[in-house]
Amino acid sequence: MTILVTAATGNLGRLVIDSLLSRGTDPASIVAGARDTTKAAPLADLGVRVAELDYDRPETVTAAIDGVDAVLLISGSEVGRRVDQHKAVVDAAKDAGVAKLVYTSAPKATTSDLVLAPEHKATEEIIEASGVRAVILRNNWYTENYAGDLAQASATGVLAASVGDGRVASASRADFADAAAVVLLEDGHLGQVYELGGDVAWTFTDLAAAISEVTGRPVEYTPLSTQEHAAALRNAGLDAGTIGFVTALDAGIRTGALADTDGTLARLIGRPTTPLVDGLRAIA
């Protein structure tokens, strides 16, 4: 079986390839799709085939998918452009007769009020309408998303956010990468929609305590209202669009968009997910 991993030089894509290789996958059966193939040289050195794949250039997508059995579509990072980018991959997969398409979506993508959900919802609908046999991985937050908070809180002793008492069931990227590798390699997952999250849904008070443990500096969580948060971000020099995006994300967390965890991720990967403090320690 030949497996194409899109965005293979990104943080998640590279970890998926590492996970595939650790499970005994022949490097020659893996295709690493990358917009800039020069960044994929370390993968080529491992025997992985590298193919140019630019979501904005459908001809490269078609060429990369040709002859592939399974595709991991890692969602793009360009918010506002992702639906068309993802559609190019789905269309090419359909035309190529791909046997399995795996997509990294967002928690409760079809029903969530999370600001990032609409593009994922639209992509899931495109996949369903295409008829391509697929597995949807609705990944919760990566613990690595909090690298900036870790750095700032370790410098100031303050973790400020407008999430209230909202919880986040995060896990490390490596946990989600292992799940993607499992469903790519195993039979029996087609048609499934998996809500994936860490074993523990933590609060920002917990996050502050974990940062304290990692850095050795006392850190206190300071809850802000949306208005207070927006003012603080404005004073820090952020533009209105970024401020709106950040406060909307925090509002989603406050209302529970990232709080659910039912152990599905741990069951898929066959081990507990990485605890918050361990995930932070790995990026400190």
Domain boundaries, the chain: 3-139, 140-171+197-260+271-284
Long-range contacts of 80-83 (CB under 8 A, 24+ apart): 80/119, 81/56, 82/119, 82/123, 83/119, 83/122, 83/123, 83/126
DSSP 74: P
Q: Is 240 a residue whose pLDDT tops 90?
A: yes
pLDDT band of residue 281 (cuts 50, 70, 90) is: very high
**Three-class DSSP category at 137:** strand
**Mean pLDDT across 226-245:** 95
Q: Is 248 a residue whose pLDDT tops 90?
A: yes
pLDDT at 80: 87
- pLDDT tens per residue, range 73-98: 999 989 889 999 999 999 999 999 99
- CATH architecture of the domain 3-139 equals 3-Layer(aba) Sandwich (3.40)
pLDDT at 68: 97
CATH number of 140-171+197-260+271-284: 3.90.25.10
pLDDT band of residue 284 (cuts 50, 70, 90) is: confident
What amino acid occupies position 71?
V
- pLDDT tens per residue, range 118-148: 999 999 999 999 999 999 999 999 999 999 9
pLDDT at 175: 98
- pLDDT tens per residue, range 106-115: 999 999 989 9
- pLDDT tens per residue, range 169-189: 999 999 999 999 999 999 999
> What tokens were used for 138?
């609705």
**Mean pLDDT across 24-28:** 98
Model's pTM, two decimal places? Answer: 0.96
One-character DSSP codes across 22-70: HTT--GGGEEEEESSGGGGHHHHHTT-EEEE--TT-HHHHHHHHTT-SE
> What tokens were used for 83?
């639906």
pLDDT at 267: 98
CA-wise closest residue to 136 among 86, 205, 208, 97: 86
Q: Do domains 3-139 and 140-171+197-260+271-284 have the same CATH topology?
A: no
**Mean pLDDT across 195-223:** 97
Residue percentage of the chain with pLDDT more than 90: 98
